[in-house]
Amino acid sequence: MATPDFILKLRARIGHEALWIPGARAVVFDDAGRVLLGQRADNGQWGLITGILEPGEEPAAGMLREVLEETGVVAAAERLVSVDAVGPTTYPNGDVCHFLTLEFRCRYVSGVARVNDDESLAVGWFGPEEFPELMAGHLESIERARQEDGAAHFHR
């Protein structure tokens, strides 16, 4: 499901006005150091696996749910990488969103990467030399997640 029910209910009341939405982004590494990427169905762009958190949902658990739903991959969250305000994003239907994005470094646990829902056109594992052109900010997210110091990034 591309848009959660709680967002659809809000949109029925406010139309396309800007919403502030909690989201999560996963930088999932496999044992070979490759990164799990998906090509989005809504805009055709490649990027990390992202999703909207449900009301009351724990961020890491919600992000892992999104990874499984979208790719068929089971991952484990290792650490928080970044907290950022992202947007505004205007979708093809005119909806405007600002996201509070919590970004996590994750490791592959099991499963075969595949298109697992209608949100992706393609899904796969990529080494740095194989990355397709990525959505804005996603390459920086990967670079931050590769850092071993464990420090979370945030704008000051």
- In tens, the pLDDT along 39-98 reads 999 889 999 999 999 999 999 999 999 999 999 999 999 999 999 998 998 988 899 999
* pLDDT band, very low/low/confident/very high, at 156 (cuts 50, 70, 90): low
The CATH H-level superfamily of 5-147 is Nucleoside Triphosphate Pyrophosphohydrolase (3.90.79.10)
| pLDDT classification of 3: cutoffs 50, 70, 90 | confident
Over residues 137-150, the pLDDT tens digits come to 999 999 999 998 87
Q: Delimit the domains of the chain by residue range.
A: 5-147
**pTM higher than 0.85 for the full model?**
yes
Do 112 and 72 touch, CB atoms closer than 8 A? yes
Query: CA distances (Å), 133 to each of 37, 126, 139, in order?
Result: 11, 12, 9
Please enumerate in sequence order all residues whose Cβ is within 8 A of that of 58, keeping only pairs 6 or more positions apart, or say none.
none
